[in-house]
Structure 1
């Protein structure tokens, strides 16, 4: 393949679509060919499509759903483009799109990344002008929007690289017209906040015209200018879990691969690099051949901290098999205990440094095949517990806090106030709201909180607060250690992210979320009148397979989290978010099912719920706090009320109680109940 300045994306199973670029056999020129590279066989073919865009280079190619979009580029020395083209997978022609909205200026050498149905485009070059703006193309409405982000904004640049990882974008390098850049920025598409990332480990050298990709919990960077022979044989990897740069040696590749203006595409566990090269008077013109790299067996030179303990994590069903392999090979660290994760699904085997070196090596044998086939992963053991003297977090906290009190001349009776319970929210530990409330603790708070966090094995510590007395029920959580309140909580295969200092997270609703997830909602349209961060929206979509959910919410902080969670769980295209009072925004006559998950009472929206159901009826899931003495009568009250409302709305329904669920005790003599109300047209 004789190309550079092209752009590429995944096209179908094991195939890469490559469009445009500069090169070709014989006399080099700009191209408008659509090429298909079969990553399995290495076969390169031309895709026969009509009406291709102009020849170009320095453009972007993005896959949204099954459609391929080409944006901008350079068709000639004086012809810089801002056009948008789409190739639908089952069509045989390119179509130029007419886009509206904010002005999108012509540019080339920009970077683009996809989140949901939006294509984010940053930077680029036009003549002497270098851009520093973020433009977003909504591929549903075909409208451009220029975003004025907040936080630590990157400067003007071109020839940089950007990739999406969940709801976040990561931007690295580029050129500002004076020098290559080496900063890494993240952009939160939900909050439109930029952040200049501070990462431990040796950072990649400043560069431009490089490649970037996302794979599992890594962001990878390869190649670019200026060309450095030794550095170009290293793949820079940002470990997002550890916030550290590590490197993988690529020894199996010829040294002449330059990977300048190449395209990187990840297919399953393989990195496919296409195109790239350079031209100068010293060595002429050189093009890099396509390359495929198995990301499972990278030879990592800095992947393990020598001063850190590690565990090998594996699902419980494989525990005995893995233990036998580790034990027979002498890889178990006998000074630490085997542990089980908090959810009980995984076993953590303490391993020694010899195992870590073996696991990250390129060596493949029977033992490694067993380890990989079982889906095991090597993780840091942040709370290395000595086998001879394990201590509970409570005892460890007591031992660490006691010297602090003694040094500060404070009464040891305060030790009796240490908390004995707490909750885990993502990587944050949340203390009860009455913890450390004695004013005496305030004088040593600066030293106290790191000690408490260390004893509980966390980097972020918070204290629960009272729910704010607002209509949006904002969180009163107080962050004690940590830079921000954003956490990600995994439950039943669903990812819930939220800013815990602004939004409440309800631990007590787990059983009800599981119940909703177990429903079969195939082909159903659902209206959630109190969506929050997606407590029930996500189970309906991810697990119950609802066709469409209307999510009503008026808390702006919850809306930010909700939109982020829809993207993270890959269901954004199946949800319509309606911002504001549900009594105004909720749709009418569309729903097979309506969720009313507001406490202490959702009665203010019962009329709205009835109006949201189809004329033929449906199911209402009505939540409420009920006195235990009224547990048997409250469902009848709900049925009578819904019957009256439906009659007033001119609906002929038979209304019955299908099920009553006792979710939890909300307080003394107060139950959280959910009554499933079945409405059938007579």
Structure 2
């Protein structure tokens, strides 16, 4: 069965939580919110992922706005009960493209699944199977199942992102972090060390209106889309894009704020990130993938060690989890003031 996840929120807090979930892209728009309980009444809010601070419930009797919002409903007369259990439990809609992961044990059903997804989302025209990522550039491995239009424009939080889903990564899972970043940096100089196609650069430029953003991206294809997205969002007067390695292209002594939105080897670039800050200091937003047992201790220690090496002091402003990266590993962010 599809994992129809939900959280239960007391009525008095429900509207605030619903708005926050909708704005961060974690509210499932295809299922109805349900009132439950008698003495103590709750709203059961459908969500697309586990929400920190709330227990996750699986809806056994989910109600859909569109009767075709369930893959099981579409395919239950065509495939076996065991096959139904292996159907994808989620997918991403990127512009007009559906990106879905399909269990290899039901590889022979991939075209039926793709056709059913297009029936569920008539505004989409292409279905692409996600086969993971590889290499330094974190290039997606993808199989086009239906359609041939792999380039699209995704609209998100008032911003436009053009990309080819077979060539560059695009994750909707960190929409909440993008929104956070779009509210800070007014009139500042910012360095985005791993800009990609503009995941953080574009929301910041559009909404926060900083004085300048220096956006650095090593992958030539991502850099090409970064340039296009700067033009699409009309922020050419704010953003300067640079194509190359952050270790070589990160400027020194200019930034009020530095974004380090990469994971896996981000710590190797902390020296460059700290050196990019103005002599009087500034703020670093440092991303890392960290085992549960040291979820915040390791990134904080790495920042403190790099700052000490540079003769600087550290004030930790915030630590937060973005999402589960893999079993037992979290994608986290640490905001630190370096002075």
TM-score range, shorter chain: 0.7 to 0.9
Matched, 1:425 2:94: yes
1:421 shift after superposition? 2.4
1:372-422 CA deviation, whole Å, 9 max, x = no partner?
A: xxxxxxxxxxxxxxxxx94443245316x72xx7xxxxx786455433422
Instruction: Give the SS at the match of 1:527.
Output: strand
* Aligned with 1:465 (options 117, 121, 131): 131
Mapped to 2, the partners of 1:448 and 1:513 lie a distance apart of 31
Matched, 1:667 2:326: yes
Contact 1:525 1:592 in 2 (8 A): yes
Contact 2:194 2:215 in 1 (8 A): yes
Query: Residues 560-599 of structure 1: matches in 2 within 5 Å?
Result: 560-599=224-263
Find the counterpart in structure 1 of residue 160 from structure 2. Answer: 495
Residues 560, 631 of structure 1: CA spacing in aligned structure 2 closer, same or farther, 3 A cutoff? same
What 5-or-longer segments of structure 1 have no aligned partner? 1-341, 345-388, 406-410, 648-652
Residues 392, 660 of structure 1: CA spacing in aligned structure 2 closer, same or farther, 3 A cutoff? closer
Q: TM-score, normalised by structure 1?
A: 0.38
The structure, 1 or 2, with the larger RCO (C-alpha pairs under 8 Å, 6+ apart) is 2
Mapped to 1, the partners of 2:296 and 2:220 lie a distance apart of 37
Mapped to 2, the partners of 1:396 and 1:500 lie a distance apart of 28
Find the counterpart in structure 2 of residue 149 from structure 1. Answer: none
Matched, 1:531 2:195: yes
Normalized per residue, the structure richer in helix is 2
Residues 393, 587 of structure 1: CA spacing in aligned structure 2 closer, same or farther, 3 A cutoff? same
Instruction: Give the SS at the match of 1:479.
Output: strand
Find the counterpart in structure 1 of residue 71 from structure 2. Answer: 394
Contact 2:129 2:145 in 1 (8 A): yes
1:158-194 CA deviation, whole Å, 9 max, x = no partner?
A: xxxxxxxxxxxxxxxxxxxxxxxxxxxxxxxxxxxxx
Mapped to 1, the partners of 2:144 and 2:220 lie a distance apart of 20
Residues 632, 576 of structure 1: CA spacing in aligned structure 2 closer, same or farther, 3 A cutoff? closer
Find the counterpart in structure 1 of residue 315 from structure 2. Answer: 656
1:547 shift after superposition? 1.0
Normalized per residue, the structure richer in strand is 1
1:554 shift after superposition? 0.8
Contact 1:590 1:612 in 2 (8 A): yes
Corresponding pairs, count: 277
Contact 2:91 2:99 in 1 (8 A): yes
Matched, 1:438 2:111: no
Instruction: Give the SS at the match of 2:242.
Output: strand
Mapped to 2, the partners of 1:453 and 1:581 lie a distance apart of 39
Mapped to 2, the partners of 1:412 and 1:657 lie a distance apart of 51
Instruction: Give the SS at the match of 2:251.
Output: coil
1:499 shift after superposition? 0.6
Instruction: Give the SS at the match of 1:583.
Output: helix
- Structure of greater Rg: 1
* Aligned with 1:606 (options 270, 282, 298): 270
Mapped to 2, the partners of 1:663 and 1:605 lie a distance apart of 20
Q: TM-score, normalised by structure 2?
A: 0.74
Mapped to 1, the partners of 2:282 and 2:250 lie a distance apart of 16
Mapped to 2, the partners of 1:620 and 1:558 lie a distance apart of 23
Matched, 1:679 2:327: no
Instruction: Give the SS at the match of 1:578.
Output: strand
Query: Residues 228-239 of structure 1: matches in 2 within 5 Å?
Result: none
Contact 1:398 1:418 in 2 (8 A): no
1:76-118 CA deviation, whole Å, 9 max, x = no partner?
A: xxxxxxxxxxxxxxxxxxxxxxxxxxxxxxxxxxxxxxxxxxx
1:531 shift after superposition? 0.3
1:456 shift after superposition? 4.1
Contact 1:663 1:673 in 2 (8 A): yes
Residues 669, 490 of structure 1: CA spacing in aligned structure 2 closer, same or farther, 3 A cutoff? same
Instruction: Give the SS at the match of 1:495.
Output: strand
Mapped to 2, the partners of 1:474 and 1:509 lie a distance apart of 18
Instruction: Give the SS at the match of 1:438.
Output: helix
* Aligned with 2:210 (options 520, 526, 546): 546
Residues 629, 506 of structure 1: CA spacing in aligned structure 2 closer, same or farther, 3 A cutoff? same
Residues 531, 605 of structure 1: CA spacing in aligned structure 2 closer, same or farther, 3 A cutoff? same
